[in-house]
Chain A
Amino acid sequence: MCTMYCPRPVVDTYNERLDITRAPHIDYAQAIPSSYYIDAKACLRVNYETCNLCAQTCTAGAIDFSQQPKELELKVGAVVLTPGFGRVDDEVLERFGYGRFPDVLTAFEFERLTCASGPTEGHIVRPSDNQVPKKIAFLQCIGSRDETCGNGYCSSVCCMYAVKEASVAKEHEPDLDISIFFMDVRTMGKGFDEARKRAQEKYGINVIRARVPRVDQVDGKLALTWTTGDGEHHSDLFDMVVLSVGLESPEDAETIARVTDIELNHYNFCRTSVDSPLLSSRGGVLVAGAFQGPKDIPESVTQASGAAAIASELLADARNSQTVTVTYPDEDKALEEEEPRIGVFVCHCGVNIAGVVDVKAVRDYAGTLPGVVLYEDTLYSCSQDALKSIAEKIKENRLNRVVISACSPRTHEPLFQETLRSIGLNPALVEMANIRDQCAWVHAQEPDKATEKAKDLVRMAVAKARLLTPLDQPTVDVTPSALVIGGGAAGMSAALSIADQGYKVVLVERSKELGGNLKRLKWTLDGQDASKVLKDMIKKVKAHKNIQVFTGSQVESVSGYVGNFTSALSRQGKTEMINHGVIVLATGGREYKPKGYAYGDSTRIVTQLELEEKLARGRGFLRNARNVVMIQCVGSRGDDMQHCSRLCCIQAVKNALKLKELKPELNIYIFYRDMRTYGFYEDLYREARKQGVKFIRYTLDRKPEVIKQSRGIKVRAFDELIGEDLEIPASLVVLSAGIAPGENEELSKIIKAPLTSEGFFLEAHAKLRPVEVAVDGVYLCGLAHGPKSLEESVAQAKAAAAKATIPLAKGKVAVAPIVSKVDQDKCIGCGICESLCPFNAIVLEKVGKRKKAKTITASCKGCGVCASHCPTIAISMGGFTDEAIMAQIHAFSPEGCEEA
Chain B
Amino acid sequence: MAQQNVVKKESEMAQEGFEPRILGFFCHWCCYAAADSAGVSRYQYPPNVRVIRVMCTGRIDARFILEAFRCGADGVFTGG
Contact = CB atoms under 8 A, between A and B. Distances in A.
Interface of A: 29-30, 116-117, 408-411, 434, 436-439, 441-446, 449-450, 452-453, 456-457, 460, 818, 836, 861-865, 867-868, 877, 880, 882, 885-886, 888-890, 892-893, 897, 900
A434 B64 contact: no
B5 to A, nearest CB: 15
B7 interface: no
Contacts of A882: 61
Contacts of B40: 29-30, 117, 437, 441
Given A410-B36, A445-B44, A456-B50, A889 B60 contact: no
B55 to A, nearest CB: 5
B59 A452 contact: no
Contacts of A450: 47
A864 B59 CA distance: 4
B13 interface: no
B36 to A, nearest CB: 4
A442 B52 contact: no
A765 B50 CA distance: 31
B39 A438 contact: yes
Nearest to B53: A409
Interface string B33-71: 101101111111101001111111011111010011011
A463 B80 CA distance: 24
B76 to A, nearest CB: 10
| A-B residue pairs, 5 tightest by C-beta | A864-B59, A437-B39, A863-B56, A865-B58, A897-B71
Given A449-B47, A460-B52, A889-B68, A868 B61 contact: yes
B42 A116 contact: yes
B70 A897 contact: yes
Nearest to A409: B53
B interface: dominant SS: mixed
A889 B58 contact: no
Nearest to A459: B50
B41 A117 contact: yes
B71 A892 contact: yes
Given A889-B64, A892-B72, A864 B50 contact: no
B51 A452 contact: no
Q: How large is the interface on B (under 10, 10 to 19, 20 to 34, 35 or more residues)?
A: 35 or more
23 contacts: A117-B41, A410-B33, A411-B36, A434-B36, A436-B39, A437-B35, A437-B39, A438-B38, A442-B39, A442-B47, A443-B44, A863-B56, A865-B56, A868-B59, A868-B60, A868-B62, A880-B54, A882-B61, A885-B64, A886-B67, A889-B67, A897-B70, A897-B71
A880 B55 contact: yes
Given A442-B42, A892-B71, A880 B59 contact: yes
A442 B44 CA distance: 4
A751 B7 CA distance: 44
A877 B67 contact: no
A408 B72 CA distance: 26
Interface of B: 21, 23, 28, 32-33, 35-36, 38-45, 47, 50-56, 58-62, 64, 67-68, 70-73
A457 B47 CA distance: 12
A882 B59 CA distance: 9
A877 B47 contact: no
A14 to B, nearest CB: 16
A443 B59 CA distance: 28
Contacts of A889: 23, 52, 64, 67-68, 71
Contacts of B28: 410
Contact of A434 (B42, B44, B51, B71): B51
Contacts of A441: 39-40, 42
A439 B43 CA distance: 11
Contacts of B60: 868
B54 A442 contact: no
A885 B57 CA distance: 13
Contacts of B56: 861-865
A888 B52 contact: yes
Contacts of A452: 47
Contacts of B44: 442-445
Nearest to B32: A410
B58 A446 contact: no
Contact of A460 (B42, B50, B62, B67): B50
A864 B71 contact: no
A104 to B, nearest CB: 28
A438 B36 contact: yes
Nearest to B40: A437
A410 B26 CA distance: 12
Nearest to B70: A900
A266 B67 CA distance: 70
B6 to A, nearest CB: 16
A157 to B, nearest CB: 24
Given A442-B38, A442-B44, 9 more contacts: A408-B36, A437-B35, A441-B40, A442-B42, A443-B45, A453-B50, A861-B56, A867-B59, A868-B62
A474 B59 CA distance: 22
B55 A818 contact: yes
Contacts of A861: 55-56
Contacts of B64: 885-886, 889
A818 B55 CA distance: 9
